[in-house]
Amino acid sequence: MTQSAVPHPATGLDATVHQRVRLGILTVLGEARRADFTYLRDTLELTDGNLSSQLQVLENAGHVRTEKVFERRRPRTWVALTRQGRAALRAEREALRELVERLDRLK
Amino acid sequence: MTQSAVPHPATGLDATVHQRVRLGILTVLGEARRADFTYLRDTLELTDGNLSSQLQVLENAGHVRTEKVFERRRPRTWVALTRQGRAALRAEREALRELVERLDRLK
């Protein structure tokens, strides 16, 4: 076996974005522009705690922003992609595309 | 926003297989049939410790098997996909393909 000078596509995956739950959150937000906490939780079949902690990771990384509001006297948390989050999601998409193409060549 | 009855593709990702390093290992093994520890480590740009612990997770899950041999009096660890590991990699590929198609529809 010889080593290629081109890095393997798996080395291009960003762990912050690639992680299963966070990738789900970013994908939903990419589709919906913004989504509330309950919608994300139900769509991705998550617990409140898991969604909260993964949102925190994404917010700390600058990929999403959250906004807590009161609507009809009830608290609601809106979540949206930042510009950086959108770019990160596109980069992940291209890394995944390359990986899928590579996996398509397997016997 | 209305909830779809069809699960979001991100919910179909298997955390054992999807994790960045493990997905890299499985992809290389899918391509190479079998690979030795050093080749995996260098191709995926990993430390010995990280590769060891991720291989352990994959072996415990039944996705890879490892074989320690002596070649020219030097120890060498060969790693190969099991039949189950190959099936898991195919399932991940289809989940990723669906996700990429979905991400392609984003503006």
ipTM of predicted assembly, 2 dp: 0.86
Would you tell me how many other CB atoms lie within 10 Å of the CB of residue A16? Answer: 18
Residue B51 pLDDT > 90? yes
Specify the pLDDT at position B5. 65
What one-letter code names the amino acid at A50? Answer: N
Residues B66-82 have a mean pLDDT of 95
Instruction: Check B42 against A102: CB less than 8 A apart.
Output: no
Specify the pLDDT at position B106. 82
User: What is the C-alpha to C-alpha distance for residues B65 and B105, in angstroms, rounded to an integer?
Assistant: 39
Band (A32; pLDDT cuts 50, 70, 90): confident
Q: Is B104 on the interface with A (CB under 8 A)?
A: yes
Instruction: Check A1 against B104: CB less than 8 A apart.
Output: no
Specify the pLDDT at position A4. 58
- DSSP state letter for B68: E
Residue A1 pLDDT > 80? no
Closest chain B C-alpha to A103 CA, distance in angstroms: 7
Structure tokens at A4: 């290629």
The pTM of this model reads: 0.89
